[in-house]
Amino acid sequence: MADALDARFNPVTVRGEISGFSRASSGHCYFALKDESGQLRCAMFRRAAGLLDFSPRDGDQVEVRGRLAVYEPRGDLQLVVESLRRAGQGALFEQFMQRKARLEAEGLFDPARKRALPAMPRAVGVVTSLGAAALHDVVTALRRRVPHIPVVLAPAAVQGANAPAELVRALQSLYDLAPAVDVILLVRGGGSIEDLWAFNDEALARTIVQSPVPLVSGVGHETDFTIADFCADLRAPTPTAAAELLSAPRDMWLGALDLLDERLGDALGGRLDALGQRVDQAAGRLGRPSNLVTRQQLRLAHHVQRLRYAVLSRRERLSQAPRSIAADFPLKLGRALVQRREHLERVALRMRLLDPALVLQRGYAWLTDTDGHAIVSATQLAAGDAVKARLADGEVDLTVTPGDATGTRPTLPQ
């Protein structure tokens, strides 16, 4: 009987609904295929079960290919399944490939138009279903990594006949918010090709390529591909991965800011030190008026010393000169001494005129702050400042009090 079945019918393709599905510890699977008119027992051994790309369950409409056989211990007819796929998947996949080829030829998948994601988004737009697990995954990832970035949700159905139109409307609502929303996530969880079919819609594909901001597609699992993935600027393997692609952890940015702050502080400190040294050098070159007087006095003493040396030298030369020359020398020496004396008197007069003490004797005072710095302008003083006044015969400590509209007026302490 088994030989007759094999020769007449095998191999066979059967379509129906799974019922009573079970997987033994050995890896073999057992179930029944049923429709409105009957059912057929099926056995799928471990080798064939290992090739499945989804987990069958009761109620699934499937298409199986295998060989009819007789289970001899009970004499039951059964189907030994060699391959199993969801019903209609072959037609949908063929339609997917045809649409993909046509849109690719139009340039919708062109890598040249793909944009890089913003390093620090101002706001993230999310398009998915309110009840989808993908929404929870995305929001959790964003709150963990970038809690300071606002999330704008545009809800839409992600499965069913109305899903493509709702997805298009949701995307358009986010486009209207650009550039305040500067990146968009289009996400949903995994599923069969039928579950994800809304993301293969042509109108949705054309809407995605019109996005004014970068758009990330995170639809299904890592092995799932849709037309939306090829149209998006970037495809993520899962919704969580999509959120992580555009959200560098906040701690990383804070660390970078700390490093920049440290470098800026070092550069500023070095610059201030250099400028401080220049100020000190300039102050050293300027000095005080008393220093100028001291330098002039040293120059005068140097000239006096040179004059004395010249007189001694001439006397020495006179002692060795002929008497006739020695007789005329006193007169010439007298004239030279008079000229030198007049010159020294002029130099001394200039030095006395530079002496600040002469100015102080005429009733003026030399004002300095507590550090000895000269005060030359009323703008250097404020009420309550301590001031030291040097007079011709000593110093007086003063305190600045508020004056009239012309400035401040120092007063003697009581």
pTM of the model: 0.47
157 part of a folded domain: yes
Q: Tokens standing for 136? A: 């929870």
101 part of a folded domain: no
103 part of a folded domain: no
Beta strands in 72-139 (DSSP E): 76-86, 124-128
Measured from the Cβ of residue 216, the count of other Cβ atoms closer than 10 Å reads: 23
27 part of a folded domain: yes
Q: Number of structural domains, the chain?
A: 4
57 part of a folded domain: yes
Measured from the Cβ of residue 383, the count of other Cβ atoms closer than 10 Å reads: 11
Residues 302, 384, single domain; the answer is no
Look at residue 311 in the predicted model and tell me its pLDDT: 74
Look at residue 104 in the predicted model and tell me its pLDDT: 94
Residues 311, 377, single domain; the answer is no
404 part of a folded domain: yes
- The 3-state secondary structure of 327-391 reads HHHHHHHHHHHHHHHHHHHHHHHHHHHHCHHHHHHCCCCEEECCCCCECCCHHHCCCCCEEEEEE
Residues 132, 184, single domain; the answer is yes
Look at residue 411 in the predicted model and tell me its pLDDT: 54
Q: What is the DSSP letter of 239?
A: H
Q: Which of residues 318, 338, 354 is at a domain's end?
A: 354
Look at residue 127 in the predicted model and tell me its pLDDT: 97
Residues 242, 170, single domain; the answer is yes
Average pLDDT per consecutive 10 residues, the chain (414 residues; last block may be shorter): 60 88 93 88 92 84 88 80 79 84 95 91 94 92 89 95 96 95 94 87 96 95 87 94 78 66 81 82 65 76 82 70 57 77 81 70 82 85 87 86 57 50
Q: Which of residues 54, 87, 120 is at a domain's end?
A: 87
Is 14 in contact with 33 (CB distance < 8 Å)? yes
158 part of a folded domain: yes
Residues 306, 369, single domain; the answer is no
For residue 120, give its domain range: 109-248
